[in-house]
């Protein structure tokens, strides 16, 4: 994963709300781009997988139809091609599962960054309210 500060790291450092808020927003933006890219790749792999499955069905039916009428070489080459397609399909399925796992991890990171951003925004609001309260209280205390 790229250099991303977590909420725990944020709490350990001196608080700089503008930097932290900017970093959280940048992290979310970067993660959204990564998520979009993985989802596009997942869509491509899913489409390829479906095409390969259709080819496999066609090959199976072609091998069955030719059956006894086909030469031994033709049956062997058809069977070999079918096995290769099935192997490739299994490899694509593994890659698809890996991409789905990566996508889930990216979504979790995004949620963590969004929670971090919300924490920062809430803390900024609380500090602003506190400072506004102090400013209101100061003039009154000087009058007394």
Please give the pLDDT value at position 12.
61
Domains of the chain: which residue ranges?
20-143
HEC states along 15-72? Answer: CCHHHHHHHHHHHHHHHHHHHHHHHHHHHHHHHHHHHHHHHHHHHHHHHHHHHHHCCH
Name every residue whose Cβ is closer than 8 Å to that of residue 90 and which is 6 or more positions away in sequence.
none
Tokens representing residue 52 in the block = 């390969």
For residues 52 and 88, the answer to whether their CB atoms sit within 8 Å is yes
pLDDT digits (tens, 9 = 90+) for 29-58: 999 999 999 999 999 999 988 988 888 888
pLDDT value, residue 1: 47
* Site of tokens 């970093």: 23
How high is the pLDDT of residue 102?
A: 95
C-alpha dihedral over 82, 84, 85, 90, to 10 degrees?
A: 130
Which residues of the chain register pLDDT less than 50?
Answer: 1-2
Can you give the pLDDT at residue 9?
A: 67
Q: Which residues contact 102 (CB under 8 A, 6 or more apart)?
A: 38
pLDDT given at position 66: 74
* Calpha distance 67→62 (Å, rounded): 8
């Amino acid at each position: 994963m790229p250099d991303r500060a977590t909420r725990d790291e944020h709490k350990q450092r001196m608080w700089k709300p503008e930097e932290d808020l900017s970093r959280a927003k940048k992290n979310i933006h970067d993660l959204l781009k990564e998520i979009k890219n993985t989802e596009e790749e997942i869509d491509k792999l899913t489409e390829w997988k479906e095409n390969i499955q259709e080819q496999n069905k066609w090959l199976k039916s072609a091998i069955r139809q030719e059956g006894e009428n086909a030469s031994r070489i033709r049956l062997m080459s058809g069977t070999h091609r079918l096995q290769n397609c099935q192997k490739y399909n299994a490899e694509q399925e593994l890659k698809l599962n890996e991409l789905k796992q990566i996508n889930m991890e990216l979504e979790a990171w995004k949620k963590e960054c969004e929670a971090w951003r919300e924490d920062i925004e809430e803390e900024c609001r609380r500090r602003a309210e506190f400072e506004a309260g102090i400013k209101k209280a100061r003039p009154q205390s000087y009058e007394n």
